[in-house]
Each structure stands twice: as structure tokens, then as C-alpha cells.
Amino acid sequence: MTDFFKCSSLLGDEVVSKMARARRFLQSRAPHELLPQVGRTLKRYALTSSRPDKRTFPVAYGGGKPCGDDLLAGHGMFYITEAGKLMLDCTSGHYQMTWGYNHPELCALAAEAAKLGIVWDNHSNIPSMPVKILAEKLVALAGGNGTGLNRVLLGLCTGSVACGAALKIMLMRYAMDRARTRLNAPVIIALSGNYHGTDIVAQTMRGMWPGLLGKIQIVQVQPNDCAMLRGEFRRYGRRVAGFWAEPIMMNREAILLDANFLGLARDLCTKHGALMALDEIQTGFWYPEVFYFRRLGVVPDLLVVGKGMTAGFHPLSALIFREELDILEQYDAISTNGLASLAALIALGNISLIEQQRQQLARLTTRHQRGLETLAREFPQIIERVNGSGFLTGLKFRRREDALGMHQAALGRGLWLRVHAYHEGHRTVLMKYALVVDEAVVDWVLEAIRDLLRSTPWRRGGTGKSVAL
């Protein structure tokens, strides 16, 4: 390697030196050894020289904000900031780091793949062996012919593109039925507070771009409101092209959908000839069953997965669907970086880790959720309820100001959490553990939250503007 391509020449000597030292510190200690230092500033790892700021970033993505809290090096669930502060990541990055930062087995798998000649990416017309094996594995996990989910579209980089592909199938199927097209514009039923990506149609489903979409009509229903759902299907009948839902709505305070509600949606879709899409971009690969719908007993027509499939290594998403819905042409829904060979191999490694640790994951998810429910019982005057299931959870506070104050106090304590308090009625602190979590971390975080709930100074503040951190 020439000097030009060394990290130090690209990032700077001090950055590389401090990064390497911070990484060695994190790697050389077990989680229970790191926990007592969470929230402390370890000055020996802090950057001291001038470094790039975020002045070129858009304001919505941190433009103009200080850089000290930004990540310098990470390992497992822990990371050290540019200012040298040790943080515990309780949200798996942006909900996508299935096994935390730089999981050693997945890193070793990627290194071995490079030696074998497995390429990073390739043209969609020449899918590699990892991609083909991954497609077969996803079908098997979804139940294959037993559920009817026996086709996989893997030429999709992000979840937004995967959701877009599912929407295209819904609309294409509707357009192919001439009797239905004469009825009027197709109707898509979605849940209020949904998040199905950044495509303009998907954003319209959650209320953006009013009046600009054209003929497609979006109807929102409240989560778990069976009467409202029945009413909308009764109103629009065969105009309904499709129904959309996320089993756990991480964009709306981790609301857990009731199996009976989803079962009703399944029955209504079948009755009216509509397609049911389950968006498991959040829930997929975070449970022992891999796909959350397997524990609900409700089989969708279209299953969207992404985010955690490749454990944060490289974005790769998939749409799993029934054979008779294989109606799109080759380039109707595709990403340049879909079918990425190395990413597909990492996805197989990710699934293998989940399968190896199913019993431990089941035990830890129960331990975490029961611990949060205990906190809710201990502090009923502060906490309204616990939302979500397993590691995808939220503490809903009784006051918005308390949710904001608790979030800021947790960040100060070294717990990287998120807060939903930017829409009317939202007041929930969110968590999504990486699957590398162990009993020591679960118990330590519960006790740290308990200590914060016992304190009072943070309850006097927290009225500032909320951001989606």
C-alpha cells in the first residue's frame, strides 16, 4: 500500500492514532468492564487538533452543530466520541446495526470473502452464489410454499426502494384489473404515523405532499382501531389496492400492532381483493424467528425487509412475495447496488448468528421488556406505559417535557437513546438493542434509567425543541 492510500494520509495522523487507541481500549475489555466508565470522558482518546466540522451538512443533519459528540471508534454496543466520551449505544446505530459495531465474526467473514474473490458488487444480470443462496434462505425463513411467499426481489439497496417495489406491484395489479380501474382511483390504506421510506408515494402515505400525488388516494387509519379499519374497507371496497402496516411502529413511539387487528386486515384484504404488505424493515432480523410475522400467525402478500439484514455492513433490502405477483419487468424496481455479493454473504452470516443464539435472544428480550415494565410500575406518575416488544421498545411518559428531559439526562449519562416528541401527543423515549447485548448490559441500563427516574433536576427542564436524534 502506498502512503497515499493509508488512512493517516486521508484522515490525518492524530485521527488515526486516537481511533486505533480507542478501538484497542474497547476491544480489550468485556462489556461488564466498560459499563462503569460509560458517560465518562477519557481524555487520552479525545482529539485535540483542529478537525473538520459540519458546516457543509444540511441543518436537519447537524449542520452548524459541535462535533465533539460524533463517533470516533466503536466496538460492540460501545463507542468513543471525538471528545473522548464513552457511550453505550442503545439504538443499534440508526436501528440497523444488528450485532453492534464491527462484530468480530462478521468482520472475519468479510475478510475471508475478499480473499476468496467474492466481489463487493456486480451487475444484477450476473447474480453471485451468495445472492442466490440468500434468496433461498429468505424464502425458507418466510415459510416458502407453506405461506406462498416464494419469490424474492433482492436487487434493492435500501428499504425505501423495497417499499417502492411493493407499491408498484400493488398499483400494477390494480391497473391490470380493468373492472377495478373503471371504479376510480386506487386506494392505499396505511396506518397513521407510518414510515415506509423516502419515496414520494411512501411519504404521501404519511401525510407529506398533500394534493401533489395525482390519482392515488391515501387513507390513514389509527393503529389497532378495528372499527375504523372495517369502515374504510366498507367505504372503498374493491377500490382498495393495498393495506400497509409495520408490526412495531418505531416512527410512532414503538406502537405494537395487535395480532387480531392484523388478522382482521388480512381477512379484509382477501375479501376485497387487496394486497397486504407488512413492512419488517424495523422488526426483521431482530427476533429469534427472524421475521416477526411468523409469531403473529398473519401471512402478508408482500413482505419488505432491509435495515438490519446486513447488520449495517452495506445496505441491502429485499421484497418477498407470492409467485402470482411476479408482474414487474426487470428494471421496474431496482437499485444500482442491489444484489451486492459481499453484502449478501454478510446477510447469511447475520442469519446464522441469529439461528445460533435463538434461545439466548429469547431470554434476553424477555428480561429487557420485563425490566421496563417493572420500571413503569415503580414510577407510574412519570411513565404511562411500555410500548413495543422485545428489544424494540419505548417508554411512553405522561408529559412531553419529561420525555425530553429524560432523553437529555440519559445522553449526559452516556446512554445513546432516541426520543419521539416532535408530533402532537408524542412523548416516548425509544430503544433498540443490538443482538450482541448481554445480561450485564440489560441490567445496568435498567438500573441507570431507574436512577435517572429517581432524580428530579431533569424534570424541571426539557422544554426545548425536540429533534430526531
Residue-level length of the chain: 469
* CA–CA dist 271, 268 (Å, integer): 5
- Residue-wise pLDDT for 372-420, tens only, equals 999 999 999 999 999 999 999 999 999 999 999 999 999 999 999 999 9
Where residue 158 falls among pLDDT bands split at 50, 70, 90? very high
- What's the pLDDT at 259? 97
**What's the whole-model pTM score?**
0.94
CB atoms within 10 A of CB 42: 16
Question: DSSP string covering 34-57, please?
Answer: HGGGTT-B-GGGS--S----STTS
Mention every residue, 6+ apart, whose C-beta is less than 8 A from residue 422.
466, 467, 468
* CA–CA dist 167, 276 (Å, integer): 11
- Residue-wise pLDDT for 200-226, tens only, equals 888 888 888 887 777 889 999 999 999
- Residue-wise pLDDT for 302-320, tens only, equals 999 999 999 999 999 999 9
Question: DSSP string covering 217-255, please?
Answer: EEEEE-TT-HHHHHHHHHHHGGGEEEEEE-SEETTTTTE
- What's the pLDDT at 462? 42
* CA–CA dist 131, 142 (Å, integer): 17
* CATH 3.40.640.10 segments of the chain: 112-356
Position 300 pLDDT exceeds 70: yes
Nine-digit cell at 324?
A: 402470482
* CA–CA dist 349, 335 (Å, integer): 22
- What's the pLDDT at 456? 67
Report strand pairing: 317-322 vs 302-305. Answer: antiparallel
**Percent of the residues in the chain that have a pLDDT greater than 70, as a whole number:** 96
Where residue 85 falls among pLDDT bands split at 50, 70, 90? very high
- What's the pLDDT at 211? 74
**Percent of the residues in the chain that have a pLDDT greater than 90, as a whole number:** 78
In terms of Cβ atoms closer than 10 Å to its own Cβ (0-12, 13-18, 19+), residue 12 is middle
Q: What average pLDDT does the segment 349-356 reach?
A: 98
Angle at 388 (CA atoms; ends 410, 282), nearest 5 degrees: 90
Q: What are phi and psi of 190, to 5 degrees?
A: -130, 165
Angle between helices 341-356 and 358-378 (to 10 degrees): 70
Where residue 345 falls among pLDDT bands split at 50, 70, 90? very high
* Mean pLDDT taken over the chain: 92
CATH for the 112-356 domain, from 3.40.50.1110, 3.30.1490.20, 3.40.640.10, 3.20.20.140? 3.40.640.10
